[in-house]
Chain A
Amino acid sequence: MGVNTVRERVSSSNKLERIWLLAKIEYKLRYYENRLGLLWALIKPITDVLIFYVVFKTILKTDIPAFASYLFIGLILWNFFLESTSGTIQILYTKKYLYEYSNMNKMEIYISTLLSSSIGLFFNMIMFIFFYNFIESSTAGLGVHNLWIIPLFINLFILSLALSLILSSIYIFAKDITQIWQVFSIALFYLSPIFYRSELFQTALPAFDYLNPIAGIIINARRVMMQGVQLDFSLFLFDFGYALLFLLGGLLLLNKLGSKAAEKL
Chain B
Amino acid sequence: MKNSIAIKAQNISKSFHISQDSHNTVKHRLFNIFKPSGKKIVPAVKNMSLEIMQGECIGLLGRNGCGKSTLVKLLAGVYPTDSGHITINGSTMLMNLGVGMSHELTARENIYVSGSVLGLKIKEIDTIFDQIVEFAELEGFVDTKIKFYSSGMAARLGFSIAVNAGADIMFLDEIFAVGDAKFQEKAIRVFESSWINGKTVILVSHSMDVIQQYCTRAAFLKDGELKFFGDTQEAINLYLKDNEIASETTAPALQEAQAV
Cα distance A104–B92 when bound, in Å? Answer: 8
Q: What total of chain A residues lie within 8 Å of the partner, measured CB to CB?
A: 27
* Contact yes or no, B116 A18, CB < 8 A: yes
Q: Chain A nearest CB: distance from B210 CB in Å?
A: 21
Q: A233 on the interface (CB 8 Å rule)? A: no
* Contact yes or no, A173 B76, CB < 8 A: no
* Contact yes or no, A176 B27, CB < 8 A: yes
Contact with A along B156-194 (1 / 0, CB 8 A): 000000000001000000000000000000000000000
Which residues from A are CB-within-8-Å of B23? 173
Chain A residue nearest in CB terms to B26: A174
* Contact yes or no, A102 B117, CB < 8 A: yes
Chain B residue nearest in CB terms to A103: B77
Cα distance A262–B117 when bound, in Å? Answer: 16
Cα distance A177–B24 when bound, in Å? Answer: 10
Q: B119 on the interface (CB 8 Å rule)? A: yes
* Contact yes or no, B92 A103, CB < 8 A: yes
Q: B113 on the interface (CB 8 Å rule)? A: yes
Sorting the interface of chain B by its residue count into under 10, 10 to 19, 20 to 34 or 35 or more gives 35 or more
Q: Chain B nearest CB: distance from A139 CB in Å?
A: 42
* Contact yes or no, A13 B121, CB < 8 A: yes
* Contact yes or no, B122 A102, CB < 8 A: no
Instruction: Name the interface residues of A10-28: CB closer than 8 Å to any CB of B.
Output: 11, 13-14, 17-18, 21-22, 25
Determine which of B24, B25, B78 lies in contact with A262 in the assembled complex, contact meaning CB atoms within 8 Å: B78
Cα distance A90–B97 when bound, in Å? Answer: 25
Specify which of A13, A101, A173, A260 lies most central, judged by the most chain B CB atoms within 10 Å of its CB.
A101
* Contact yes or no, A99 B78, CB < 8 A: yes
* Contact yes or no, A17 B121, CB < 8 A: yes
Contact with B along A24-54 (1 / 0, CB 8 A): 0100010000000000000000000000000
Q: Which of B101-109, B211-219, B243-251 contacts A (4 or more CB under 8 A)?
A: B101-109
* Contact yes or no, B26 A102, CB < 8 A: no
Q: B94 on the interface (CB 8 Å rule)? A: yes
Determine which of B16, B76, B80, B120 lies in contact with A102 in the assembled complex, contact meaning CB atoms within 8 Å: B76
Which residues from A are CB-within-8-Å of B112? 21, 25
Q: Chain A nearest CB: distance from B201 CB in Å?
A: 15
Q: A119 on the interface (CB 8 Å rule)? A: no
Q: A144 on the interface (CB 8 Å rule)? A: no
Specify which of B23, B100, B117, B122 lies most central, judged by the most chain A CB atoms within 10 Å of its CB.
B117
Cα distance A98–B119 when bound, in Å? Answer: 13
Which residues from A are CB-within-8-Å of B122? 17, 21
Chain B residue nearest in CB terms to A180: B26
Q: Which residues of A contact B (CB under 8 A)?
A: 11, 13-14, 17-18, 21-22, 25, 29, 97-104, 173-177, 180, 259-260, 262-263
Nearest 8 interchain pairs by C-beta? A103-B77, A101-B100, A176-B25, A18-B116, A259-B80, A97-B100, A101-B94, A174-B26
